[in-house]
Structure 1
């Protein structure tokens, strides 16, 4: 029986003294057990699993709604600043200190919030940190103002949802007192764990068009898998790529040296900005950003975060229309109270355990190339590499329609990270329960 190997993968940082003062760089690593994979019968599959040695019981997972955005139509032509003033005055009078934006049907390039100073009859309103009580108050203010067009046949969709952002925050939560040193080290390990095992859904992305990128302190976007270069791949492989309708990105992913890891302090993005779906993974140490400045969070509020943004886009976005909020069941603002947020787990929060092939010529050893690729670009990059390799190996085989048999929309050679998935699902369920209970209290208080 092949013994289990223990392997440590360094956590990359370009500014360790700032993000983790007092921590030895040698401490910054994730530990993995590499062991032969077996099937349900206990038989070896010829592959090896890489399982993280990280006790998720030492962490607390909490889901939140960052913001929700909805559409309001006025009975007469108005201005966004007038709608903003109307809401601001009424909500403050009701005891709220709201943070929201009102604009037209265009979003600001950097923030994504509705662009203000607009005249018209259709406005988008984005509520930051919404609660059931705040949402109910906003609806009441707008409905009673006499300025909003109400759908008398379907009043619940008078305010259709045009966007929502849901986040899962992970905090160290070890029994007993946690020192600042322990908190920081645990947080950084979790931030790296999430990005290594996150497997973005292809449901709303054109397979590899929206590849992972990261943005560091220099504000420059860089890809985890470097872009195609003229020398990448041989003519035969290029021909196979064309035959299987796959972009040149896979040709790049087939080269191990093109895979890189992102610094742990950088924000990793998947999906296009202002596209129908975009994810962010970050080691969150700052908040309330204003341009180039941001507020440093106290150490107990610093956390690992993954968030998914879902938008309603029109034909101006790559010539296609998407209504992601409507597709998941959030047609109107009222739907938040009964929405089951755990439904987002399948399309928004997937995590996988990587498996690697055995070494060519020695089935008792794992393929070191695939291990190093996972250490760089995680399950995302490894899955692309394995897909490209399969095209290269099996591309000339006779198959229906000339396609290589690789599961594009599934796990490929990965398995579900059951423990991380369960923790995230529980956090989303608790978000559902909080909204229902607080919504019921808000209803009774009226």
Structure 2
């Protein structure tokens, strides 16, 4: 077997991975014999095999394969980049960032490495670095159809709505038949009060996907914001025809009733939506809880807000949006507020969104877990008190603070309290039967 067939096999494996077929990629790679590979071939072979294993849900053997090869090739940017992707697939974003950054230091400047680094920064909420990585990836020739919608989302997080809209419009000039992104553009325009532009974006989406429930919900919400109740009613009629009993349909009804000043009817509708979402996806439940929390927080129904926060905690959905409304209802104003990320540790329980270290030995039942509780407080002592009090309130046992993982000053007057409870819980590995 000559070098050309090996190159063809590796190229075929790359194509299969790109198309989401890791099993087929592994089968192709099995046809390569060690005796026919030079050092560069072997590095690429190991990287591709590790990525295929990772995509197949076999992260631990993927990382072992890479670590073994890195002992012989410690300065290979390709191997470090592959390690970063494997770690990211396993949810270990801190380690993934370190590997991908090191790969770029070693000279990896290909667009795929930069794109993966940008997406890891997003997971870590490091949006400034994510924006820079996306910009550099674009300069290096990254696929703009993949990059631009993600770049627009980063600009939204950075509170740069003009750049977000411009980026999304650039994408839609390349892919004008993407109904989902026309809806996203409509939402962006609506958030800025540009309701005519929002309506035009929704109409473009309607021509592409008339039966999109996301279109009908967001168009209806935008119409309420524009105080166009007649248009909101039209969108509600469409939504009822598509999903008559879905939570999002009832939510739009509640939103319209509130705009009309029918507060008791609106409250009943929100309660119906909360019941309706119980059998829906976690995403739909989280959205319903956010909308309901916003309504009851504005009406200072603190006892209901407590119940909603507890429900969100149960499904690991204490989002920034939900917690912001809760703080405004329950918190107290703080002039010199700071943001803290408090890593707490507590006894393991079921129902967590678990993340396991790839190099940890599997155990039948873990003992402890760690999770970041982000809070707004005056100082570290208050931050620790808020974080530990809230998790104890929801039944966590043997709680301790592992570390203050982050801290930053906030501008202006803020409400103290929980900022966000991160979804993922990191299972603490055990060593020789003892907890670290």
Asked if these proteins are the same fold (TM beyond 0.5), I'd say no
TM norm structure 1: 0.23
Q: Which has the higher strand share?
A: 1
TM norm structure 2: 0.23
Q: Which has the higher helix share?
A: 2
Higher relative contact order (CA 8 A, sep 6+): 1
